[in-house]
């Protein structure tokens, strides 16, 4: 599995040692998150929209309402930038200047295509569903023809991609290590709580096993 080749646009220039172009790192970051931010421009006005996504091999799928301005714009071939970020910890240094964050992030540049093939569209919807909650697709009612028509799916090839990762503790100026100030890392993670049943439930099945064992 070859690495992504950095381009002039994806080469990490600020702290280049944090740049990663191997598929293992990129795919791990994408597969353990489910919210991305989609950046694009319409008539000179930039927009950044948060949304869900799913990945299949070297393709990132986006979806939403057929009335979505974002999806209509992107399906017309407008250049797009998609970012995904994990925040793993707050890095507290002895100086305000050297405070930082431990993170893992991916930037994807490219042009999306409209998914028109019904089989690929249905498969993309399965990927979305199982990406957020693995195993859920097999439990739920499948989309109707009307629901499929009301949904737009876009495919973005994973070609121009880079990751950037920061780990470890604070990096202070040498004289500051003598200061009597606590420094270190406050780790952060997603916490899963007890599922809350729908108040409108009509039957009351047991909580699915994939929900009990859910983690990101």
- Residue 51: CB atoms within 10 A of its CB come to 16
* pTM attached to this predicted model: 0.91
Return the number of other C-beta atoms located less than 10 Å from residue 4's C-beta.
Answer: 20
Q: What residue has token string 């944090």?
A: 18
For residues 37-65, give the mean pLDDT.
96
1: pLDDT confidence band, cut at 50, 70 and 90?
low
The whole-angstrom separation of Cα 149 and Cα 115 is 12
Mark 137-163 as b/e (b = at least 16 C-beta within 10 Å). Answer: eeeeeebeeeeeeebbbbbbebebbbb
CA atoms of 127 and 211, how far apart (whole Å): 17
Predicted pLDDT of residue 199: 87
Binned at pLDDT 50, 70 and 90, residue 120 comes out as very high
Q: State mean pLDDT over 45-52.
A: 96
* CB-based contacts of 177, cutoff 8 Å, min separation 6: 94
Which residue is listed with tokens 């990096």? 171
Residue showing tokens 């301005």: 69
Distance CA 63, CA 74 (A): 11
For the chain, list the domains and their CATH numbers.
16-212 (2.30.110.10)
User: What pLDDT, on the 0 to 100 scale, is given for residue 128?
Assistant: 96
pLDDT band of residue 95 (cuts 50, 70, 90) is very high
Distance (Å, whole) CA 111 – CA 71: 12
Question: Coil, strand or helix: which one is 147?
Answer: helix
φ, ψ of residue 120 to 5 degrees: the values are -70, -35
Pick 213 or 178 by higher pLDDT.
178
pLDDT(162) > 90: yes
């Amino acid at each position: 599995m070859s690495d992504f080749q950095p381009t002039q646009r994806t080469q990490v220039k600020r702290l280049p040692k944090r740049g990663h172009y191997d598929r293992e790192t990129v795919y791990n970051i994408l597969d353990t998150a489910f919210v991305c931010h989609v950046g694009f421009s319409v008539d000179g006005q930039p927009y950044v929209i948060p949304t869900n996504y799913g990945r299949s091999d070297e393709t990132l799928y986006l979806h939403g309402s057929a009335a979505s301005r974002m999806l209509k714009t992107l399906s017309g071939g407008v250049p797009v930038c998609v970012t995904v970020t994990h925040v793993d910890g707050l890095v507290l240094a002895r100086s305000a200047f050297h405070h930082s964050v431990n993170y893992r992030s991916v930037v994807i540049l490219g042009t999306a295509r409209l998914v028109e093939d019904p089989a690929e569209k249905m498969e993309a919807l399965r990927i979305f569903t199982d990406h957020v909650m693995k195993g859920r697709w097999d439990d739920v009612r499948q989309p109707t023809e009307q629901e499929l028509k009301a949904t737009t799916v876009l495919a973005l090839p994973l070609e121009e991609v880079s990751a950037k990762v920061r780990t470890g503790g604070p990096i202070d100026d040498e004289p500051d290590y003598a200061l009597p100030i606590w420094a270190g890392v406050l780790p952060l993670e997603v916490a899963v709580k007890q599922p809350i049943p729908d108040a409108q439930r009509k039957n009351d099945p047991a909580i699915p096993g994939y929900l009990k064992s859910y983690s990101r």
